[in-house]
Amino acid sequence: MDGCYLANENITSFSSEESEIRTTYVKIVKTSGDYFVEGLIWGANFHICHVASSVEGSDGPLRMEYVENKLVYTQREAEDDINCKLEFSFQNNRLTIEDANHHCSRYIFYCGALVGLDRVELPKVEYGCP
């Protein structure tokens, strides 16, 4: 599971109609049995979603649990009715991200309005992430 999952995408600006190739990636590192994840997902109109530690004041990677051949991150905040469950599944050297109720992209990570985490698929690459 550890490694770099990456895709280059052509992103277009809605206002200028100019486009540029941008790199969407997720880097997974296994350290002492724990998995740490960091990534940048590009969406429409150059909106981004940065997946990293959700602890305020921390710039490090996100720690995810290994559960039934998936990496899982959960964060619940009952007072705000937030129930984030982020799942990374792996098949045929591809990473698929699931955020079924979109709570992770809306409330936990820094995601623009035109980008989400649900159903993002990235191939594993042999070279390193940016």
Kindly report, residue by residue over 61-79, the tens digit of the pLDDT. 999 999 999 999 999 998 9
pTM: 0.91
* Rounded Cα gap, residues 31 and 102, in angstroms: 28
* Rounded Cα gap, residues 78 and 16, in angstroms: 41
Kindly report, residue by residue over 30-42, the tens digit of the pLDDT. 999 899 999 999 9
The CA-atom distances, in angstroms, between 39 and each of 13, 22, 42, 89 are 22, 13, 10, 15
The CA-atom distances, in angstroms, between 62 and each of 19, 39, 49, 102 are 30, 9, 13, 17
pLDDT at 56 over 90: no
**pLDDT value for 127:** 86
